[in-house]
Each structure stands twice: as structure tokens, then as C-alpha cells.
Amino acid sequence: MSERPGFLVVLEGIDGSGKSTQARLLARKLRKMGLPVTVLREPTRGKWGRIIRARALQETALNPQEELELFLRDRQDNVRRHLVPALNQGKIVILDRYYFSTMAYQGARGIDPEYIRRQNEAFAPRPDAVFILHLSPAEGLARIHQRKKKDILFEQEKYLEKVEQIFRKIRGRRIYHLEASQSRERINELILRRLIFLLKKKNFLQLDSSRI
């Protein structure tokens, strides 16, 4: 793992698993501890991210390779403009989705997940910690159907089942799997405790565990 400054935390999982909620809770608690935190999200709101969102709302989907190319371009832009600068400033970056989502979602469309991983790790900083939240597609769909905007491709149950299967197979150093059916408070507690341990191990902070 790189000895670069900063600390990169990634939250992953299928739609509706609670990634964004956990990102907000985690950022709030870390900031209360006086730590510098930046929260980023993919797809971004930049040029390529807007294209991804617009195409996802259309009935006619991109082919898998075209879709992968858009995600790579969006991520390259995010890494260059936001992620690397924040890490170089010594910040804790909480990233709501990263290339593990691309492995799962585009992998479910037929592209080799390990090929996707290699393509991304050629330019994208590797995370210091990855938390993958697991939820049944049926429960995930029940949650996201409450939203006003619908993502036509990414909300198909059979598709999400393939996505979830790939997420469960992802392994690596400091990749942690959590069941998202637990309360959000319990999930946040588990993430925070592991994260504090890793931050202390990297000498990122000196903190009494009683304050967690």
C-alpha cells in the first residue's frame, strides 16, 4: 500500500444498501473529532458523470464497453481534480462508490471484473479501507423505489442479483464485508471502530478509544 498522505475510505454496495447514509454519518463523526474530511461520490457531477446519469435514465442502454469507458473517464477526472489533491492535503477522503462498483455493475454486464480492476488500478489510488455493504436486491429495490428518480438499468432485480454476487466475491487487503440489513447505527459503529483502528495504525491520529 502506498505511503501517500491522507486516508482513503470507500463505501460500496448495491443501490439502496445505505452507502450515502453511512458516508454522511461517518463524515459527521470524524469531523466532530477534529479530523479533516472530504466526501466524494461517483458517478460525479462533472462532464462524464452527467453523461452517465443521463444515459442511465434512457430506455436504450449503452453497450457494456461504452459504459465502462464512460466510468473510466469520469473516474480519471475525479482522481485528477478532487481525489488526489484532497489526499495530498492530508485529508480523510470518504468515497461513495469507487472502482469496485464498476467491477460489480459492469462485471454483471459481462466484462471480466478483474480486467476492470486492472484498468482502474493503473491510475486510481488504492483505498486504505473498503467497506462493502450487502443487502438483498429485493430489499434494496424496496428502498430505492421511494426515490423520485428511477435508474432504469440499475434497478432491475435480476441484474442487481448478479451485481451483489460479484460484490460478495471481491477480496483484498482491508476490504470488509458488512450486512446492511442491520440498523444504520450498528453499521456505523462497526465501520467507525475499524476505521479508527486503521487510522491509528497509520499514525494518522492519536485517539483514546473511549471517545469513539
Residues 84-135: pLDDT tens digits? 999 999 999 999 999 999 999 999 999 999 999 999 999 999 999 999 999 9
pLDDT at 211: 44
Residue ranges of the chain with per-residue pLDDT less than 70: 1-3, 59-60, 147-155, 206-212
**38-51 burial: b if 16+ Cβ within 10 Å, else e:** bbbbbbbeeebbee
Residues 6+ apart with CB under 8 A from 158: none
Measured distance CA(90)–CA(6) in Å, rounded: 4
Measured distance CA(6)–CA(93) in Å, rounded: 7
Is residue 160 within 8 Å of residue 140, measured between CB atoms? yes
Is residue 151 within 8 Å of residue 171, measured between CB atoms? no
Residues 6+ apart with CB under 8 A from 107: 113, 116, 162, 163, 166
pLDDT at 156: 82
Domains of the chain, earliest start first? 7-204 (3.40.50.300)
pLDDT at 189: 97
